[in-house]
């Protein structure tokens, strides 16, 4: 019967006898495990950021915006040719069963003033469907009502950052702010949401009724114009299946002939986010694979040192064989030494990796996230590396001739 306790004791005693060599031998494993943990944590953090961004934007989204413009051969970007109307969004919501909500958007950066305070931020004309799509609730006050939209009322809903900049600790409800010199009554304050996954302050925004934006604040090229329309589908699959229906409906509404290009652009945000998430997963695997090379290099280091150790301890091996040790005993002893070196390196690598993740998180805008799998995976791999690269030195030691080994000087 194999006495693992004795073999482990002999292996650890041999490692302690050469502390410096053992430390240097484990260095490759330490670096490899730490690097894998940091790389996987960074990739995982990026994936979580994308998921959080999707949550803040809303689920199952499609954005429809105006198309490109062409003037004297010069082409403008998306939205440079104003074509979208508030009525387009309403028609999509009414006629396409897979679309649950359609929120119009018209926005620009504007200066606003309250008393002696002023602040420049994004002003967005929309209606209550926008807040439903984004799952954004009021902290206090009220949403827009039908009268506000119908009469293009000069009322505003503020994000928390704007409240802090313009009012400080004063309650902003029913107070007046001026947007581009036009007085607006504050009727609501939104719940604080903080930064998005891309680092944007979601609370630094002001919302006004879409009709007010069109008629009194931003001006439009034609009546009912909007910048873009956010659509929320009933589920993720519907964001794909409904695109052609949306396209055909808008072409019909915009009176586009068979030979005319679309004067709008449909963007499936669900698809874009899935592609980004997939790319991030691939990048995480790639980074982890590159970092794993350090583990293989560390394994080669273990094999080299163990081969040197076999040569140095040839006489010791001969004595053990002479007093009854079997080949398997010798083999297991050296395998145990390689395994212990690897696992000790793995444990130290885990500690350094966790510290490295905290350093990256502190000194950069990245938000790496560690989970248990990202610790167990490289630690287990370090043990396998130790066994794999320790096998040849162990096999070589077990094959020594006892008589020749005892004669070795």
**Strand blocks (E) in 142-248:** 155-158, 176-179, 182-190, 205-209, 228-233
At which residue do the structure tokens 């068979």 appear? Answer: 258
User: For the residues 191-210, what does the mean pLDDT come to?
Assistant: 83
Q: Which residue has the higher pLDDT, 364 or 380?
A: 380
Integer Cα distance of 378 and 375 in angstroms:
6
Q: Give phi and psi for 218, each to the nearest 5.
A: -100, -25
Integer Cα distance of 26 and 15 in angstroms:
11
pTM of the model: 0.64
Q: Which residue has the higher pLDDT, 271 or 129?
A: 129
What size, in residues, is the chain? 409
- In which band, very low, low, confident or very high, does the pLDDT at 195 lie, cut at 50, 70 and 90? confident
What's the confidence (pLDDT) of residue 69? 47
| Separation in Å, CA 331 to CA 26, 200, 293 | 20, 59, 27
From the number of C-beta atoms within 10 Å of its C-beta (0-12, 13-18, 19+), residue 116 rates as exposed
What's the confidence (pLDDT) of residue 75? 46
Residue 283 · residue 294 · CB < 8 Å: no
By mean pLDDT, which of 51-55, 153-157, 173-177, 367-371 is the weakest? 51-55
What's the confidence (pLDDT) of residue 196? 67
The share of the chain scoring above pLDDT 90, in percent, equals 31
What's the confidence (pLDDT) of residue 92? 93
Q: CA Rg, the chain, in Å?
A: 33
Integer Cα distance of 31 and 298 in angstroms:
8
Digit-coded pLDDT (tens) for 335-372: 887 888 888 888 998 999 899 888 888 887 667 888 78
By mean pLDDT, which of 60-69, 221-230, 325-334 is the weakest? 325-334
Q: Which residue has the higher pLDDT, 57 or 252?
A: 252
User: Which neighbouring-strand residues pair with 264?
Assistant: 66
Q: Are strands 176-179 and 228-233 parallel, antiparallel or unpaired?
A: unpaired
Asked if pLDDT for residue 317 goes beyond 70, the answer is no
Residue 2 · residue 344 · CB < 8 Å: no
User: Which neighbouring-strand residues pair with 25?
Assistant: none
Q: How far is CA 56 from the centre of its chain?
A: 13
| Other Cβ atoms closer than 10 A to 191 | 12
Asked if pLDDT for residue 396 goes beyond 80, the answer is no
Asked if pLDDT for residue 109 goes beyond 80, the answer is yes
- In which band, very low, low, confident or very high, does the pLDDT at 300 lie, cut at 50, 70 and 90? confident
Closest CA to 236 of 268, 196, 277, 191: 268
């Amino acid at each position: 019967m194999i006495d693992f306790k004795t073999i482990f004791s002999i292996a650890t005693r041999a490692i302690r006898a050469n502390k410096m060599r053992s430390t240097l031998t484990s260095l490759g494993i330490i670096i490899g495990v730490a690097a894998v943990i940091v790389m996987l944590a960074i990739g995982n953090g990026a994936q979580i950021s994308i998921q959080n961004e999707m949550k803040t934007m809303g689920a199952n989204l499609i954005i429809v915006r105006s198309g490109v413009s062409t003037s004297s051969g010069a082409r403008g970007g998306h939205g440079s040719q104003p074509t979208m109307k508030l009525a387009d969004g309403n028609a999509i919501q009414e006629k396409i069963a897979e679309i649950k909500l359609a929120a119009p958007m018209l926005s620009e950066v504007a200066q606003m003033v309250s008393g002696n305070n002023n602040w420049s931020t994004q002003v967005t004309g929309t209606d209550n469907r926008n807040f439903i799509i984004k799952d954004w609730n009021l902290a206090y006050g009220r949403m827009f009502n039908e009268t506000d939209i119908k009469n293009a009322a000069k009322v505003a809903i503020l994000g928390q950052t704007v409240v802090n900049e313009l009012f400080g600790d004063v309650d902003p409800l029913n107070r007046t702010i001026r947007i581009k010199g036009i007085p607006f009554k504050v009727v609501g304050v939104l719940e604080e949401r903080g930064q998005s996954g891309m680092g944007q302050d979601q609370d630094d925004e002001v919302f006004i009724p879409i009709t007010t934006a069109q008629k009194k604040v931003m001006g439009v090229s034609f009546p009912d114009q909007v910048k873009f329309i956010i659509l929320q589908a009933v589920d993720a699959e519907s964001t794909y299946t409904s695109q052609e229906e949306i396209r055909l409906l808008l072409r019909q509404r915009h009176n586009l002939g068979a030979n005319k290009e679309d004067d709008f652009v449909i963007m499936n945000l669900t698809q874009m986010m899935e592609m980004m998430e997939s790319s991030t997963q691939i990048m995480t695997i790639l980074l982890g694979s590159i970092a794993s090379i350090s583990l293989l290099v560390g394994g080669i280091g273990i094999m080299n040192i163990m081969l040197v150790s076999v040569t140095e301890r040839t006489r010791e091996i001969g004595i053990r064989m002479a007093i009854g040790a079997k080949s398997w005993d010798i083999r297991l002893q050296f395998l145990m030494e390689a395994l212990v070196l690897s696992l000790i390196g793995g444990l130290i690598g885990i500690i350094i990796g966790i510290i490295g993740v905290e350093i990256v998180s502190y000194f950069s805008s990245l938000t790496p996230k560690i989970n248990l799998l990202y610790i167990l995976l490289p630690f287990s791999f370090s043990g396998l590396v130790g066994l794999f690269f320790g096998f040849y030195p162990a096999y070589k030691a077990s094959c020594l001739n006892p008589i020749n080994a005892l004669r070795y000087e």
